[in-house]
């Protein structure tokens, strides 16, 4: 929602060279602020001089956010883009100030108007990629090159996860793309993403034991990082430490192109759900470079149902299990609701409790499966490309989740085999493949 307030002030000759505070009240849930100002008169015919009014923005704690001279009079401040010269940051509740400085006054008076437009956070699905590498580890592209590609593809967020260390000048969010700092702890026994901390550890990441890693994990969490296990059943670099002797926030059940390794991870995740483990599922492209004409970034795409698109909002939503994964941006997508409750929520069940599953862009021949802790409770095979909606009663289910599966054949099977030739050669050109996953959605829980 958008709210606009205009502040008017007459600046007089005696105000020249004096900072003047205009307080503005910022409420809860503001995600973006746009400030513009105008004043008259500015220039005079036949004069080389003009009235100059500068603007400084100060937050509720009295900290400078940025400043602008009179030639550029439009300012944006947000956690995913700010005008150059202003902090990329969250908009916090409290009394901010627009501070004006009549730096030069040719006139006796100046009529000043300051317009403050605020935009509240929007709770919705945000699409992006949780796993990508740059040339700071073993990727092909720089930060800027990767970010530009992500923006062109329509990603709303991008997690940067180079191997084993962050670079302290890692870019902040920019140009309406939320950039989340992170790293991928990379050991012979497993890979683990740590998201959200510019520097999750001090010293060295090197350790030969899970105990050593767990100490590093705890340090990372103290520094604000969220922990996710990567591609746990990968044939090339799986997770070989026990997965049941420590806690983590999420698991990458879908890494890069859909393949047998991902199916094993999805099955394992479902079994963990059946045990009552509320474990968030994410997908990540594990992007390093393009393969000829095949762009891997954003494949798969993880949709996060978040209160906003700031780093903190996105990470909080992942931790709460509010995720749905699709093969790509704009691909088949699954959403599950129960009244006002959404994925990740826990709902108290009565005789009237029903769950609604909505699937968009369901392709011909693809199969929707809805699961609870006992197995498949609903199946639908699309006869044509369509959207599909079904409402099901909730009886003894502890959770309800869903996925869409399909059979690889024809040209798609051939292209899959070509891609797998580069990824995991021994899984290319196999016969009798099981159904692949096109989309999956995290569960709603019931009690």
The set of residues, in sequence order, having a beta carbon less than 8 Å from that of 398 and lying 6+ positions away, is 274, 276, 372, 373, 445, 446, 447
Cα–Cα distances (Å) from 337 to 340, 354, 355, 402, in that order, read 7, 9, 6, 12
Is 225 within 8 Å of 219 (Cβ atoms)? no
CA-nearest of 356, 371, 403, 366 to 386 is 366
d(CA 300, CA 326): 6
Is 180 within 8 Å of 196 (Cβ atoms)? yes
Do 112 and 134 share a domain, yes or no?
A: no
The count of domains in the chain is 2
d(CA 400, CA 201): 37
Do 129 and 97 share a domain, yes or no?
A: no
Do 345 and 432 share a domain, yes or no?
A: yes
Do 49 and 175 share a domain, yes or no?
A: no
Q: Please give the average pLDDT of every successive group of 10 residues along the chain, which has 447 residues.
A: 93 96 96 96 78 96 94 92 92 97 93 97 97 94 93 95 81 83 96 95 95 97 97 95 95 95 98 97 96 85 97 97 98 98 97 97 98 97 98 95 95 84 84 94 97
Do 66 and 182 share a domain, yes or no?
A: no
Q: Residue 168 has what pLDDT?
A: 65
Do 192 and 286 share a domain, yes or no?
A: yes
Do 9 and 83 share a domain, yes or no?
A: yes
Among candidate residues 71, 91, 120, the one where a domain is terminated:
120
φ, ψ of residue 442 in degrees (nearest 5)? -65, 160
Do 222 and 351 share a domain, yes or no?
A: yes
d(CA 233, CA 183): 20
Q: What separation, in Å, do the N-terminal and C-terminal C-alpha atoms of the chain show?
A: 34
d(CA 267, CA 404): 14
Q: What CATH code is carried by the domain that includes residue 45?
A: 2.60.120.380
Do 20 and 135 share a domain, yes or no?
A: no
Among candidate residues 120, 143, 160, the one where a domain is terminated:
120
Q: Residue 332 has what pLDDT?
A: 98
Q: What CATH code is carried by the domain that includes residue 162?
A: 3.20.20.140
Domain residues for 412? 124-446
Is 125 within 8 Å of 44 (Cβ atoms)? no
Do 87 and 129 share a domain, yes or no?
A: no
Q: Residue 46 has what pLDDT?
A: 67
Do 148 and 112 share a domain, yes or no?
A: no
Do 296 and 154 share a domain, yes or no?
A: yes
Among candidate residues 87, 120, 153, the one where a domain is terminated:
120
């Amino acid at each position: 929602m958008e709210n606009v307030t205009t502040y008017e002030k007459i600046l007089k000759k005696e105000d020249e060279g004096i900072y003047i505070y205009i307080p503005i009240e910022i409420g809860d849930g503001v995600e973006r602020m746009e400030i513009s100002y105008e004043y008259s008169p500015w220039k005079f015919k036949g004069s080389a001089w003009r009235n100059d009014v500068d603007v400084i923005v100060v937050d509720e704690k009295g900290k400078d956010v940025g400043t602008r001279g009179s030639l550029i009079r439009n300012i944006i401040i947000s956690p995913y883009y700010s005008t150059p010269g202003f902090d990329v940051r969250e908009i916090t509740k409290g009394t901010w100030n627009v501070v004006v400085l009549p730096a030069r006054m040719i006139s006796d008076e100046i009529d000043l108007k300051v317009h403050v437009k605020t935009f509240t956070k929007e709770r919705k699905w945000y699409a992006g990629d949780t796993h990508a590498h740059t040339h700071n580890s073993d990727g092909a592209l720089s930060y800027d090159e990767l970010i530009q590609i992500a923006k062109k593809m329509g990603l709303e967020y991008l997690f940067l996860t180079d191997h084993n260390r962050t670079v302290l000048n890692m870019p902040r969010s920019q140009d309406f793309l939320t950039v989340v700092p992170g790293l991928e702890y990379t050991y012979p026994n497993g890979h683990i993403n740590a998201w959200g901390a510019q520097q999750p550890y001090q010293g060295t990441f090197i350790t030969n034991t899970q105990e050593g890693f767990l100490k590093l994990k705890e340090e990372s969490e103290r520094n604000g990082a969220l922990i996710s296990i990567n591609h746990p059943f990968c044939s090339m670099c799986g997770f070989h430490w026990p997965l049941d002797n420590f806690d983590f926030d999420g698991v990458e059940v879908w890494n890069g192109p859909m393949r047998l390794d991902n199916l094993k991870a999805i099955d394992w995740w479902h079994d963990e759900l059946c045990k009552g483990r509320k474990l968030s599922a994410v997908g990540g492209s594990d992007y390093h470079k393009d393969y000829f004409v095949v762009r891997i970034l954003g494949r798969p795409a993880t949709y996060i149902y978040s209160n906003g698109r700031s780093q903190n909002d996105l990470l909080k939503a992942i931790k709460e299990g509010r995720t749905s994964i699709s093969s790509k941006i704009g691909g088949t997508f699954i959403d599950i609701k129960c009244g006002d409750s959404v994925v990740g929520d826990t709902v108290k069940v009565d005789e009237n409790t029903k769950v609604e599953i909505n699937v968009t862009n369901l392709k011909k021949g693809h199969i929707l499966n809805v699961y609870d802790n006992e197995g498949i409770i609903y199946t639908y095979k699309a006869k044509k490309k369509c959207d599909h909606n079904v409402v099901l009663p909730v009886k003894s289910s502890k959770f309800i989740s869903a996925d869409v599966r399909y059979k690889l054949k024809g040209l798609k099977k051939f292209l899959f085999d070509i891609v797998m030739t580069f990824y995991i050669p021994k899984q290319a050109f196999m016969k009798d493949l099981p159904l692949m996953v096109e989309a999956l959605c995290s569960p709603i829980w019931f009690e």
